C-alpha cells in the first residue's frame, strides 16, 4: 500500500495502531534506559541522582532542537508527498544533515561554556555542582549522535518507515543499558568513571542509534541556492515543536529553582517524577508522533474530516492508556520512588507529589495533543500559544504561587495547569473547525 492509500484512505484507527507500536516500543526502550540510568547513578551516589535532575532541563533543550527540527522536516515532507512532489520532499531531507551538524556545534559550545554557572545557579552543594558539570558537559558536547539520529529518523517516518527508527532506538538503548553499570562501577576491569560513565554510556547509545538510521535516512545535499527557503520552511513548521519542547526546559528549570528553596531532596523528587513520566507517557508520545504525518497528509489533500477523525482517535487511545499511569501514581507512589532511592525525605516528598501529578494525566492528553495537531495543519501560532500558556503563563507562576502555601500545595500546579491548557486548546480547536467548515464540504485545504 502506497502513502496515499495508507494515510488518505485506510481506517484511521488501523493507521495509528500500525504506526504506534513501533514508536511505542522504541520509546519504551528509551524510557527503560532513562530509568536504568537513574537507577545505577542512584546506587552510586545521592548527589549524582540530584545532578541528573538538574541537568535534565538542558537535555530537554537538546532534544527540543534536534527532534523539533526533525519534526519540521517530517511535516513538510509529508505534505509534499501528499501532493505527489517526491523530488522536493527529497530536497528537504537533504538539507537535514548539514542543519543537524550546525545545531549540534552551536549547542555543544554554549553548554560547555555555561555549565559551571548553570550548576551553581541550581544548588549550593559543591559535590552536586561537580557532578552537574561532569555529567552535563559530556552529554551535551558529545550529543552529535542525537542530532543526526533525530533528523534521519524523521525523514524515514515521513516516508512511512517506522521499523528502522525503532531498531535504531532499541540498539541505542541496549548500548546505554549495557555500558551504564560497566562504566559507572568499573566492572570487568574497566575504569570506575562514576557519573561520567553514565554520561559516556548515554552519548554512545545515541551514536549507535544514528549509525543504524544513517544508511536509509541520509539524503544527498541539494543545491545551495535552495537552503535559505528550505531551512526557513523547516523552522516555520518545526518551531512550534521546538518551542514546546524548549519551554519544558525552562519550566522544569523554574520548578527546580522553586523546589530548591525547600531542599535538594525536593528537586530530586521532581526529577524522579520525570524519569517515571517518560515511561508512562509512551502512549501519549506515540500518538503525538503518529498523527503528524497523517494529519499533514490529509490537510494538504483537503480532507479536513479525516484530520478531525485522526485527532479524536488519538485522544481516545491516549485517555485509555494514560489511565494506567494515573492508577500507578496514585496507588503505589512509594514503591515507585524506592526503585531509585532510599532517602526517606525524598520518598516522603515524592509520595505527595506523585499523587497530585497522577491526577493530571488525563487532562494532559488533550493539553499535549492539541499543539501537535495545530502544528501538523500549519497553525503554528495556535500551537505555540498553547505551549506558551502551559509552560510560561501557568506552570512556573502557579508553581511559585502554590509553593507560598507550602511544599505539598506546590504539586497542585500540575492538575490546574493541564485543565486550563486543555480548555484553551478546545477553544482553539472550535475556531479551527469554524474556519475550515467550508473546506469540509468543498474538499479544500493545503499546507
pLDDT at 125 over 80: yes
Mean pLDDT value across residues 68-90: 82
pLDDT-based confidence at residue 446 (cuts at 50, 70, 90)? very low
Structural domain tally of the chain? 1
Which residue's C-alpha cell is 526533525?
Answer: 70
Specify the DSSP element, H or E, that contains 422: helix 413-435
Q: pLDDT per residue over 234-265, tens digit each? A: 888 877 778 767 777 788 889 989 998 898 89
Backbone dihedral region of 248: left (phi > 0), alpha (psi from -120 to 50 degrees) or beta? alpha
The answer on pLDDT for 15 being more than 50 is: yes
Q: For residue 6, what is its C-alpha cell? A: 495508507
> CA–CA distance from 129 to each of 46, 53, 82, 144, 319 (Å)?
13, 12, 50, 25, 40
Helix (H) or strand (E) holding 336: helix 333-338
Least confident of 17-31, 341-355, 401-415: 17-31
Is the residue at 433 inside a domain? Answer: yes
Of these ranges, 68-77, 162-171, 283-292, 361-370, the one predicted with the greatest mean pLDDT is 361-370
Residue 197 has pLDDT above 90, yes or no: yes
**Which carries the bigger pLDDT value, residue 405 or residue 56?**
405
429 pLDDT more than 60: yes
Residue 111 lies inside a defined structural domain of this protein: yes
Listed range (25-29, 66-70, 228-232, 383-387) with the worst mean pLDDT: 25-29
Give the structural domain span for 20. Answer: 3-442
Q: Model pTM?
A: 0.69
What's the pLDDT band for 444 if we cut at 50, 70, 90? very low
pLDDT at 80 (0 to 100): 80
Q: What is the H or E stretch that residue 44 is in? A: helix 12-44
Over residues 354-363, the pLDDT tens digits come to: 999 999 999 9
d(CA 235, CA 98): 14
Buried b (16+ CB within 10 A) or exposed e, 232-266: ebbeebbbbbbbbbbbbbbbbbbbbbbbbeeebbb
Which 3 state secondary structure label does DSSP give 131?
A: helix
Q: Assess if residue 447 is contained within a domain.
A: no
C-alpha cell recorded at residue 331: 496507588
Establish if 238 belongs to a structural domain: yes
| pLDDT for residue 191 is more than 80 | yes
Instruction: Encode burial over 53-84: b for 16+ CB neighbours within 10 A, e otherwise.
Output: bbbbbbbbbbbbbbbbbbbbbbbbbbbbbbee
Q: How confident is the model at residue 275 (pLDDT cuts 50, 70, 90)?
A: confident
pLDDT for 409 equals: 95
Please state, in angstroms and rounded to a whole number, the distance separating the CA atoms of residues 181 and 192.
Answer: 10
385 located within any domain: yes
CA distance 362 to 281: 11
The backbone torsions φ and ψ at residue 11, rounded to the nearest 5 degrees and listed phi first, read -55, 135
pLDDT at residue 443 greater than cutoff 50: no
| 83-98 pLDDT tens trace | 777 888 888 888 889 9
Quick one: how far is CA 189 from the chain centroid? Answer: 36
Amino acid at each position: 500500500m502506497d502513502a496515499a492509500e495508507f494515510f488518505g484512505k485506510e481506517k484511521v484507527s488501523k493507521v495509528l495502531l500500525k504506526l504506534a507500536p513501533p514508536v511505542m516500543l522504541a520509546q519504551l526502550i528509551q524510557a527503560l534506559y532513562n530509568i536504568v540510568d537513574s537507577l545505577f547513578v542512584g546506587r552510586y551516589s545521592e548527589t549524582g541522582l540530584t545532578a541528573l535532575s538538574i541537568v535534565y532541563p538542558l537535555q530537554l533543550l537538546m532534544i527540543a532542537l534536534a527532534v523539533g527540527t526533525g519534526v519540521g522536516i517530517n511535516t513538510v515532507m509529508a505534505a509534499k508527498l501528499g501532493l505527489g512532489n517526491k523530488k522536493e520532499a527529497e530536497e528537504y531531507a537533504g538539507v537535514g544533515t548539514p542543519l543537524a551538524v550546525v545545531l549540534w556545534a552551536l549547542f555543544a559550545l554554549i553548554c560547555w561554556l555555561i555549565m559551571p554557572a548553570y550548576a551553581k545557579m541550581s544548588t549550593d552543594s559543591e559535590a552536586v555542582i561537580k557532578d552537574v558539570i561532569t555529567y552535563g558537559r559530556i552529554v551535551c558536547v558529545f550529543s552529535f549522535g542525537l542530532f543526526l539520529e533525530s533528523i534521519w529518523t524523521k525523514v524515514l517516518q515521513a516516508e512511512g518507515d517506522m521499523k528502522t527508527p525503532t531498531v535504531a532506538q532499541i540498539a541505542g538503548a541496549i548500548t546505554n543499558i549495557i555500558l551504564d553499570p560497566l562504566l559507572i562501577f568499573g566492572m570487568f576491569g574497566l575504569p570506575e568513571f562514576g557519573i561520567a560513565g553514565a554520561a559516556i554510556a548515554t552519548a554512545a547509545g545515541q551514536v549507535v542509534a544514528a549509525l543504524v538510521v544513517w544508511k536509509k535516512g541520509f539524503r544527498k545535499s541539494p543545491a545551495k541556492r535552495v537552503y535559505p527557503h528550505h531551512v526557513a520552511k523547516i523552522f516555520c513548521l518545526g518551531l512550534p515543536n521546538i518551542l514546546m519542547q524548549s519551554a519544558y526546559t525552562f519550566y522544569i528549570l523554574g520548578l527546580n529553582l522553586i523546589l530548591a528553596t525547600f531542599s535538594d531532596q525536593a528537586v530530586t523528587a521532581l526529577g524522579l517524577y520525570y524519569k517515571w513520566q517518560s515511561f508512562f507517557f509512551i502512549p501519549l508520545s506515540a500518538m503525538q508522533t503518529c498523527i503528524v504525518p497523517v494529519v499533514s497528509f490529509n490537510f494538504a489533500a483537503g480532507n479536513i474530516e479525516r484530520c478531525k477523525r485522526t485527532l479524536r482517535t488519538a485522544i481516545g487511545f491516549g485517555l485509555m492508556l494514560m489511565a494506567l499511569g494515573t492508577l500507578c501514581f496514585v496507588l503505589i507512589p512509594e514503591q515507585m520512588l524506592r526503585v531509585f532511592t532510599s532517602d526517606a525525605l525524598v520518598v516522603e516528598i515524592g509520595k505527595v507529589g506523585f499523587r497530585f501529578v497522577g491526577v493530571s494525566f488525563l487532562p494532559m492528553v488533550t493539553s499535549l495533543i492539541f499543539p501537535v495537531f495545530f502544528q501538523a495543519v500549519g497553525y503554528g501560532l495556535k500551537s505555540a500559544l498553547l505551549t506558551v500558556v502551559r509552560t510560561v503563563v501557568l506552570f512556573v507562576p502557579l508553581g511559585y504561587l502554590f509553593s507560598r502555601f507550602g511544599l505539598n500545595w506546590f504539586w497542585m500546579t500540575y492538575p490546574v495547569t493541564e485543565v486550563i491548557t486543555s480548555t484553551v486548546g478546545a477553544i482553539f480547536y472550535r475556531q479551527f473547525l469554524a474556519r475550515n467548515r467550508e473546506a469540509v464540504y468543498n474538499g479544500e485545504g493545503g499546507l
